[in-house]
A and B are shown apart, each in its own frame.
Chain A
């Protein structure tokens, strides 16, 4: 696959790492639902997203977070934001 696939894979891996640390959930894949499967309330989700923003050095706008349901969705949003920044 192309470079974006590789990027996606590594973003997903880092997300899994963070989820294991923050939510103490280990069995996580791209299809894992953030609101249903991780046992986080809305405040915890906000803190989780802010930790990811630090880790990836991006700010995720609120309207983009609204569309995120799964861990894979979140990985895609983060990648898009990183790509948009490096190629203006």
Chain B
């Protein structure tokens, strides 16, 4: 018995998971060789579960600018921007983000998680209402707990359900904030943003879109799903830890009075700011998004290739191809065994288990990168297919008609 006994059920479930093979939540790579290769138990493993969408983690310009910034400005800021002050590079990154999105304002946070906590908690308070998609990331759920607002979920990707809920709020005072994601992290499906923006704005509500998985991936300029759908989100939140290859988060907006957020957003005020190396590599990565649109084409092409290969042999996947390709599996037992066998065969993907998955199905979740070669994707698909056949998840032979 200890103060942690309240988590005994979690511990028991974790123990059972570990008894079936490797611990999926504590994989330890001895070394990372490139954006797509790591060393595990002395063997090279193909990385297909790192959200490194543009493959920029080893980009020479990003690494070079981070090294130069560390030499010039030191290893860290050792405090909050409100207390210790900002470096010029923090403000410059904010200027660049605002410019990239064509907005007047931008604010940088120390993680993507905090970007949602800090933005949502600053935008809403007592008397306000938050309506958010039920499949939203944990950071959005947690952000809602930080506000005094009334918090209501709507059915995933269902503009009609959102509209009904907006109508029920008619006549109330206070602001209404609608929160959705561009691409949902578990199944990789995209939000129907045109319809969502229409019902949101018709009701006089504000729309916040989290582009964590779509920045640098979707849209003609790589801004994300809002750009791809041709809509104007009132607030966009995103992360530096996926396509931009580092850590941190941001929000951009044209909202009047934006700067007051720096004085009311506790997850911004009471945490240390990003170190100069991170600010420098993220700024370089943003340059790459602008200068190299072919990276977007490549990551989407790789996602398409993996998706088509797996659908063809009979796997049940998410509703559409994209940078995230998830295989739905019939049981936790099969999923754990599947994940272990895929890793033994030299391919690292993620294992996602309910209740963290939207439909209650356990998932084998892959994320592709612009740095993957077509033969990497082919190898991954062949590995997953062979194991799927051995485990009886898909038919033994042949191609399944779509």
Interface on A for B, CB 8 Å cutoff?
A: 41-43, 46, 50, 54, 57-63, 85, 88
Contact = CB atoms under 8 A, between A and B. Distances in A.
A46 B161 CA distance: 14
Contacts of B169: 59
A43 B355 contact: yes
Nearest to B355: A42
A43 B354 contact: yes
A62 B168 contact: no
Interface stretch (B68-76, B144-152, B216-224): B144-152
Contact of B168 (A41, A43, A58, A63): A58
Contact of B150 (A43, A57, A61): A61
B374 interface: no
A59 B152 contact: yes
A61 B129 CA distance: 9
Nearest to B357: A43
B360 A62 contact: no
A57 B168 CA distance: 8
Chain B, interface size: which category?
10 to 19
A3 B224 CA distance: 53
A58 B150 CA distance: 14
B151 A63 contact: yes
Contacts of B165: 59
Contacts of B43: none
Contact of A46 (B151, B153, B164): B153
Residue of A46, A59, A61, A63 contacting most chain B CB atoms (<10 Å): A59
Nearest to B149: A61
Contact of B155 (A41, A42, A50, A60): A50
Contacts of A58: 168
Nearest to B150: A61
Contacts of A88: 171
Given A61-B151, A62-B151, A85 B168 contact: yes
B157 to A, nearest CB: 14
B168 A59 contact: yes
Contacts of A61: 150-152
Given A57-B168, A62-B152, A62-B153, 18 more contacts: A41-B354, A42-B355, A43-B354, A43-B355, A43-B359, A46-B153, A50-B161, A54-B164, A58-B168, A59-B152, A59-B165, A59-B169, A61-B150, A61-B151, A61-B152, A62-B151, A63-B150, A85-B168
Contacts of A63: 150-151
B392 to A, nearest CB: 25
Contacts of A54: 164
A41 B144 contact: no
Contacts of B155: 50
B134 interface: yes
Interface in B353-377: 354-355, 359-360
Contacts of B153: 46, 50, 62
12 contacts: A41-B360, A43-B354, A43-B355, A43-B359, A46-B134, A57-B168, A59-B152, A61-B150, A61-B152, A62-B152, A62-B153, A63-B151
Nearest to A50: B155
